[in-house]
Amino acid sequence: MPKRTKILSLGVLSLLAVLSVSIGVALYLQQEMPDIEAERTLTSNLGFFLLINLNIIVVMVLGFLVVKNLVKLVLDRRKNILGARLRSRLVVAFVGLSMIPTVLLFLIAKGMLERGLQEWFSPQIVSSVDGALGVARYHYESTEAAVYRYTRRLTQGLEELYPHVASAAGVNDAAFAQPEAQRLIEHYLETKREELGLFDLSLVDQHGKVIAGSSSLEARRNLVTLPGPNLTLVRRALLNGEAVVNPEQSIDGEFLRGYAPLHYSLEHSLTGSLPYRRQGQSFSSEPQAAPPVLAPPRHVLIATHWVLPELARALGTVINAYDDYKELKSYRRPIASSYILTLVVVTLLIVFGAVWVGFYLARDLSVPIGLLAEGTEQVAHGNLDHQIPEVGDDELSVLVRSFNTMTADLKM
């Protein structure tokens, strides 16, 4: 097999070997990556793979050139070509000088990377993140539970207050249209809203029409826009007879709303005594002689709590940080693999680059020395006309010029 064909075949084989290793690494990373459909994750993965593939291509090119020169150097050494042994020693020296510190740096960087990842996902960090999310959820759930309790308590108060309203117009919706009934209900709602710190209290019918209510100063001045009643939840509360709490949104933030139906008493007592009587600005109860008979609910009390924008943003920040941390935690192995792969690629780039520089310098050193050795043999055989072409402007070129001057002087 000709020399050039053998070198080309070995170069192609080395290129195929490097390509196979690169494809295997890419497939391994692809299997390690979790399936997350977020657009930003897809974009970051695409950029990561493009960068890694670019580095792999550079390593493949350098690897091909290095393997090609190594094969050529081995063949020259076997054929005892002048300068091949010197080039071999120089290349080995450069590889050793570059390999030792590079491998040490690789091992140190790998250890620092593993230690850093362990600190990222240490139990202390995980417990802190989980604790922050737990505090945020506890605050939100406790506020939701408070709205539920307030709604149930206020509906019970309205149910006990209803005999004052029904005494004017009987058990029908016209009772709420009476001025005295309106004042009584609104006074009760206003008092309880301020007492409980709620943003809005509204009594609505099955169609969501507000019959009576009490709003905070921000709502009355239209500084904060309230969402309309959720008719689905209104009908569900009337149908099931149970209170429900639901988060609702408007352009001004998030609200927690409680929906609770009102159950009215058709019969209050054998003596006709009222369960509540008004005394100035307060209400007091009197004992009952018989249990009440309940009518089907036709009205729903809506209690609204405004989640302040600052608090909502803080809760959102905590939740987003928790989600990002969990996503990052799922990427722990791929992150470590990507960093290690990057370190390997950089290490190979340094080693191959050093080997290539070693070949280049070895050629610059060995070629003039080989020409001098050949010229010395020519002079020894009596060929005083032999001249060595000057290469470069360093000390070797001075030595070549001195050799040419010597042969010229001998010829004279």
pLDDT in tens, 11-57: 555 555 555 555 555 555 555 544 444 444 545 556 666 666 766 77
- 92 to each of 63, 76, 86, 245, 272, how far by Cα in Å? 16, 15, 10, 77, 112
Tell me what percent of the residues of the chain surpass a pLDDT of 70.
72
Poorest-pLDDT segment among 95-109, 145-159, 210-224: 210-224
Whether residue 214 has pLDDT greater than 80? yes
Closest CA to 95 of 60, 68, 66: 66
At residue 67 the predicted structure's pLDDT band, cuts being 50, 70 and 90, is confident
Q: Using CA atoms, how far apart are residues 384 and 399, in angstroms rounded to an integer?
A: 17
> Could you count the other beta carbons within 10 Å of the beta carbon of residue 176?
20
- 9 pLDDT band, cuts 50/70/90, is low
Distance CA 191, CA 27 (A): 68
The pLDDT-based confidence of 388 (bands split at 50, 70, 90) is confident
> Domains in the chain, ordered, with CATH?
3-120+331-411 (no CATH), 128-325 (3.30.450.20)
Residue 223, class by beta-carbon neighbours within 10 Å (0-12 exposed, 13-18 middle, 19+ buried)? exposed
Region 95-124 average pLDDT = 81
The residue with greater pLDDT, 241 or 175, is: 241
pLDDT range class, residue 238, cuts 50, 70, 90: confident
Question: First and final CA of the chain: distance in angstroms?
Answer: 48
pTM over 0.85: no
The pLDDT of residue 271: 35
The pLDDT, as a whole number, for residue 171 is 47
Nearest to 148 by CA among 335, 301, 366: 301
Task: Judge whether residue 292 has pLDDT over 80.
Answer: no
pLDDT in tens, 155-199: 888 877 766 555 544 445 555 656 677 778 888 888 888 888 888
Q: What amino acid occupies position 206?
A: Q
Q: Are strands 282-285 and 276-279 parallel, antiparallel or unpaired?
A: antiparallel
Is the pLDDT at 85 greater than 50? The verdict is yes
The torsion angles phi and psi of 243, rounded to 5 degrees, stand at -80, 145
